[in-house]
Chains A and B, each alone.
Chain A
Amino acid sequence: MALTLLRGMRTPVSLRSNTGLFFNVLRPRLSHFTTRAESAHATEPKAVPKSIQLATKEAAEQKTQGFEAIIGIETHVQLSTVTKAFCSCPYDYGSQPNSTICPTCMGHPGTLPVLNEKVVECAVKLGLALNCEISMTSKFDRKQYFYPDLPKGYQISQFDIPIAKKGYVDLDLPVEFGGGHRKFGITRVHMEEDAGKLLHSESGSYSQVDLNRAGVPLLEIVSEPDMRTGIEAAEYGAELQRIVRYLGVSNGNMQEGSLRCDVNVSVRPVGQSEFGTKVEIKNMNSFSEINRAIDYEISRQIMLHKEGQADQIVQETRLWDESSQKTFTMRKKEGLADYRYFPEPDLPEVVLTTDYIDEISKSMPELPEAKRRRYENMGLSMQDVLFLANDDNVAHFFDSTLEHGADAKLACNWIMSDIAAYLKNEKLSIHETKLTPLELSELIASIKNGTISGKIGKEILFELIAKGGTVKGVIEEKDLVQIADPAAIEAMVDKVIADNPKQLEQYRAGKTKLQGFFAGQVMKTSKGKANPVLLNKILGEKLNAK
């Protein structure tokens, strides 16, 4: 098959050595993009601080201009199965090019695909998580087109009978963007295989193909055109990422390419029932880029409408350029592509039983939406809820801490502040530190019952998270028990007052702020162990007496 592919091609006139940088073919020449390393555990950072109420503000703005935007998203999720979809080649991101290949995924004649059972499992899991109807029977089809990264000349996909359809996803918009609950429809979920990678040199007259990725299983998720603003679209993407990570079907890394979103945007005057011309946007590498790209495109289209140039909006694919913060035409769509779909004769129908689906349903973890509702019912603020439910590991840690008896709000505070800061600094995930949920609950309890002060608690936390151990152990080792005996504190206060006659005079003369100075001195003497409330009470009495 490789031979038929190359028959019509001209051989390059000169073979240049590898000069220049290599770009993924979809990147425009306007700027080049370096891959950003992302910790597999870190969730997508929401950069670009915007003013509050922006989501609703933007939607309102659109309306005041008389338009509304219709946004739909197609997402491709690369499954983290051990082997490819239709052959037993392993797949590892970053392998030496053209090393994880075999005649089947290379599309050599005489080879036949055999479906990986894990792919079906992942598809059903995701379908259930997205509240879809699962098709008891579905089939594969061939989507035919020619491209160097597509070895067989067709992609095995599912055309008219996908494995799941008619679902929805619930999510909450981030507080800093105005908050609010949304529900977006899912049209379908289907199984297909990925193509290889095509790179082409900046200067050279040739391109290069790496087929490691050819045949890797994908799930394509098509949304209903329910989103109206960039932030809604970005949050939809983030929720899909959360879900696939919770389920363990994919690591959902946009940077690695295991989560890819293509967005379709159109605008129409409010009240009009027909959709406007749809424009596809590609090349967004993070959720914040999705947000900004869509908002830009919406304004661009509204602007054209207002200038009476609505006909300038054509059905096309545009690329987002992060450096200039604009979308650019990639190519005009020359009519619909003719993929000549027909049923894949080499693969049998995928037949599911209700037992199979029930089994999978029972094995599903608690999903982000369920977690958010549960945390909300605990009385936590929306901000807390969104933070905790964002990462499955964090939610699990939090739940475990509560199981040991800790108070929800306090546990949440510790996790969101000191612990989160440490994780960010050290680039770790919460379950990679030495802190255990049991010890966190111990810490909270110790502060609550007065054994240690809050400030000391922070020190202990740092010990535990970096070196492990137990709260009791650290307290003993470092002699951190809070001093709460009034007599002991009195003694210290007396000494500090006696040692600082000048400040005492100033205080008596009216400089009452100096109480802080005295308190500090007592704290120093007590090595931070004096109970602050008691200290200030006794100090106040002593300073104001006489």
Chain B
Amino acid sequence: MTAMLSAAAAIPRLRLVTRPAARLPSARSNWLRPLSSATHVTPPAAAAGAGSLEPPDLHRLANAARISLTLQEVEEFEPKIRQVIDLFGQLQAVDLESIEPSLRAGTATGSSLREDKPETFVNRDAIVEAIPSYDDPYIKVPRVLNKE
């Protein structure tokens, strides 16, 4: 997650983009970082054609991200998101057919696996302290019924 945030900050600012990148990283601005298409991500659309990407359905996106927007905010953000998506749309013009996707930074030399040996985290108290609503020994949350 942190990797994605820094990536967002690193997007070159074109003249069309006004403020978003400068905004403080509140929970809301998290979704300004570019997400690829709303459905699962395999290389975005040859369908959209080189040079353009479908902008996401904002209502659906906000719902998926559990962020509530006012109608005004939807109007405000829609063009800004479109601009960000268009940036990536420009990248579609590049032929990447024969290039391996760069999914992560670096390649581990040696094993990236961990031995199956237990370690008790010593500062459990600090974790518990950080829980906003703690009903010993449970984390208390509002009643939730469905995954949807």
A8's partner among B2, B36, B68 (CB-CB below 8 A) is B68
From 146 to 193 in chain A, residues with beta carbon under 8 angstroms from any chain B beta carbon are 146-148, 159-160
Q: Could you tell me if B1 and A115 are in contact, using CB atoms closer than 8 angstroms?
A: no
B27's partner among A4, A103, A120, A211 (CB-CB below 8 A) is A4
B117's partner among A2, A82, A101 (CB-CB below 8 A) is A82
Q: Could you tell me if B116 and A118 are in contact, using CB atoms closer than 8 angstroms?
A: yes
Q: Could you tell me if B139 and A208 are in contact, using CB atoms closer than 8 angstroms?
A: yes
From 120 to 134 in chain B, residues with beta carbon under 8 angstroms from any chain A beta carbon are 120-121, 124, 127-128, 130-133
Q: Could you tell me if A101 and B124 are in contact, using CB atoms closer than 8 angstroms?
A: yes
A342's partner among B36, B111, B127 (CB-CB below 8 A) is B36
Q: Could you tell me if B116 and A117 are in contact, using CB atoms closer than 8 angstroms?
A: yes
Quick one: closest B residue to A79, CB to CB? B116
Counting chain A residues whose Cβ lies within 8 A of the other chain, the interface size class is 35 or more
Q: Could you tell me if A147 and B66 are in contact, using CB atoms closer than 8 angstroms?
A: no
Knowing A89-B118, A338-B39, the reply to whether A208 touches B135 (Cβ < 8 A) is: yes
Knowing A82-B117, A106-B127, the reply to whether A340 touches B144 (Cβ < 8 A) is: no
Knowing A90-B118, A199-B138, A348-B108, the reply to whether A207 touches B143 (Cβ < 8 A) is: yes
Interface stretch of the complex, out of A92-100, A362-370, A491-499: A92-100
Chain A residue contacts of B113, Cβ below 8 A: 114-117, 120
For chain B, what secondary structure do more than half of its interface residues adopt (helix, strand, loop), or is it mixed? loop
Chain A residue contacts of B3, Cβ below 8 A: 345-346
Counting chain B residues whose Cβ lies within 8 A of the other chain, the interface size class is 35 or more
Q: Cβ of A12 < 8 Å from any Cβ of B? A: yes
Chain B residue contacts of A144, Cβ below 8 A: 64
Q: Cβ of A308 < 8 Å from any Cβ of B? A: no
Q: Which of B38, B66, B127, B141 has the most CB of A within 10 A?
A: B141
C-alpha spacing A159/B38, complex, angstroms: 16
Q: Could you tell me if A25 and B145 are in contact, using CB atoms closer than 8 angstroms?
A: yes
Q: Cβ of B40 < 8 Å from any Cβ of A? A: yes
Q: Could you tell me if B138 and A340 are in contact, using CB atoms closer than 8 angstroms?
A: no
Q: Cβ of B99 < 8 Å from any Cβ of A? A: no
Q: Which of A7, A118, A199, A206 has the most CB of B within 10 A?
A: A206
Q: Could you tell me if A345 and B103 are in contact, using CB atoms closer than 8 angstroms?
A: yes
Q: Cβ of B18 < 8 Å from any Cβ of A? A: no
Q: Could you tell me if A88 and B114 are in contact, using CB atoms closer than 8 angstroms?
A: yes
CB distance from B109 to the nearest CB of A (A): 11
Q: Could you tell me if A114 and B114 are in contact, using CB atoms closer than 8 angstroms?
A: yes
Chain A residue contacts of B76, Cβ below 8 A: none
Chain A residue contacts of B104, Cβ below 8 A: 343, 345-348
Chain B residue contacts of A205, Cβ below 8 A: 142-143
CB distance from A325 to the nearest CB of B (A): 24
Q: Could you tell me if A338 and B64 are in contact, using CB atoms closer than 8 angstroms?
A: yes
C-alpha spacing A205/B38, complex, angstroms: 34
Q: Could you tell me if B141 and A160 are in contact, using CB atoms closer than 8 angstroms?
A: no
C-alpha spacing A381/B41, complex, angstroms: 53
Knowing A88-B119, A145-B147, the reply to whether A209 touches B40 (Cβ < 8 A) is: no
C-alpha spacing A4/B64, complex, angstroms: 14
CB distance from B115 to the nearest CB of A (A): 6
Knowing A8-B66, A145-B147, the reply to whether A90 touches B142 (Cβ < 8 A) is: no
Q: Cβ of A268 < 8 Å from any Cβ of B? A: no
C-alpha spacing A403/B112, complex, angstroms: 44
10 A-B contacts, Cβ less than 8 Å apart?
A2-B131, A7-B27, A8-B68, A83-B117, A88-B119, A90-B118, A117-B114, A207-B141, A210-B138, A346-B104
Known: A9-B141, A340-B35. 12 other contacts (CB 8 A): A2-B132, A6-B133, A9-B142, A89-B119, A89-B120, A101-B127, A145-B147, A147-B147, A199-B138, A200-B144, A338-B38, A339-B40
